[in-house]
Structure 1
Amino acid sequence: MTKKIIVPIDGSAISIRALQFGIHLAKALGDEIRVVHVQPMLEVLGENIIKESTEILEEADVPFTTTIRIGTPSLEIIAEAKEDNVRCIIMGTKGSGNATGEIGSVSQATLAMTPCPITFIPEM
Structure 2
Amino acid sequence: MTKNVLVPVDGSPLSHEALRHALREFPDASITVLHVVDLFEPSYGAYPDFDTSYEPLMGSEEWYERAEEISERLLEEASEIAADHDREVDTASEIGDPKRIIVDYADEEDVDQIVLGAHGRTEGERPVYGSIAEIVARRASVPVTLVR
Q: Which TM-score tier does this pair reach, normalised by the shorter chain?
A: 0.7 to 0.9
Q: 2:84 aligns with which of 59, 74, 96?
A: 59
Q: Give the structure 1 partner of residue 135 of structure 2.
A: 109
Q: CA deviation at 1:59?
A: 2.6
Q: Give the structure 1 partner of residue 9 of structure 2.
A: 9
Do the aligned partners of residues 83 and 61 (structure 1) sit closer, same or farther apart at CA in structure 2, a change above 3 Å counting? farther
Q: TM-score by structure 1 length?
A: 0.83
Q: TM-score by structure 2 length?
A: 0.71
Confirm or deny: 8 A CA contact 2:36 2:96 kept in the other structure. yes
- Letter aligned with residue 106 of structure 1: I
Cα displacement string for residues 78-121 of structure 1 (whole angstroms, at most 9, x for unaligned residues) = 112103542200001139xxx99730011111112101000001
Which 5+ residue runs of structure 2 have no aligned equivalent? Answer: 40-62
Larger radius of gyration: 2
- Aligned pair count reads 117
Q: For residues 9 and 110 of structure 2, what CA distance do their matches in structure 1 show?
A: 20
Please give the root-mean-square deviation of Cα atoms over the aligned residues, in Å.
2.4
Which 5+ residue runs of structure 1 have no aligned equivalent? Answer: none
Q: Give the structure 1 partner of residue 37 of structure 2.
A: 39
Q: For residues 136 and 9 of structure 2, what CA distance do their matches in structure 1 show?
A: 14
Confirm or deny: 8 A CA contact 1:32 1:62 kept in the other structure. no
Q: Give the structure 2 partner of residue 83 of structure 1.
A: 108
Q: Give the structure 1 partner of residue 58 of structure 2.
A: none
Q: What percent identity do the matched residue pairs reach?
A: 31
Confirm or deny: 8 A CA contact 1:2 1:85 kept in the other structure. no
Q: 2:74 aligns with which of 46, 49, 54?
A: 49
Q: For residues 115 and 63 of structure 1, what CA distance do their matches in structure 2 show?
A: 25
Confirm or deny: 8 A CA contact 2:33 2:92 kept in the other structure. yes
Confirm or deny: 8 A CA contact 2:8 2:115 kept in the other structure. yes
